[in-house]
């Protein structure tokens, strides 16, 4: 599935999200408008390290971030491995890989638009208070 949000193109593997593609598109539109903070869609999580990282990302609340190191510590892994798994996330936005940042930078983002899209998503979620997510350190 291809969607455009804030002028950025994002591809999601809708085969991993239960429900009708039109329902997911509607939920993504509501998210972009600020009317939705979570998605009502079950995601098929792979039984792999990437799946473990995806579960950790799903646990990050809207408007908050975690570092690659935080998730690595939770999974008894290494931050680089977590970053690589984030880059393999087949359903960005629904599984919020944008909420995972570096200890002193935004880190990377594999979706089209790269770090610019990641920053747009985090800014959207932080609303008028960049300190809410600790994003003030990156501006």
Helices (H), the chain: 21-32, 49-58, 68-75, 79-87, 114-126
Candidate list 43, 57, 97, 111, residue with the active-site label: 97
Whole-angstrom Cα distance, residue 44 to residue 18? 8
The answer to whether 60 and 96 are in contact (CB under 8 A) is yes
- Contacts for 11 with CB less than 8 Å, ≥ 6 apart: 1, 2, 111, 112
d(CA 69, CA 77): 9
Max CA distance (Å), the chain: 39
> Is 86 known to be catalytic?
no
- Residue 91: how many CB atoms within 10 A of its CB? 24
By annotation, the residues acting in catalysis are: 97
């Amino acid at each position: 599935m291809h969607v455009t949000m804030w002028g950025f193109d994002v591809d999601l593997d809708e085969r991993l999200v239960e429900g009708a593609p039109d329902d997911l598109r509607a939920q993504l539109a509501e998210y972009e408008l600020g009317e939705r903070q979570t998605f009502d869609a079950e995601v098929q999580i792979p039984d792999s390290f990437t799946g473990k990282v995806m579960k950790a990302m799903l646990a990050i609340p809207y408007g908050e971030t975690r570092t690659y190191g935080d998730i690595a510590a939770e999974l008894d892994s290494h931050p680089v491995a977590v970053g690589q798994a984030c880059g393999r996330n087949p359903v960005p936005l629904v599984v919020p890989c944008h909420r995972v940042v570096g200890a002193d930078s935004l880190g990377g983002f594999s979706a089209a638009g790269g770090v610019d899209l990641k920053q747009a998503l985090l800014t959207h979620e932080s609303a008028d208070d960049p300190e809410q997510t600790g994003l003030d350190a990156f501006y």
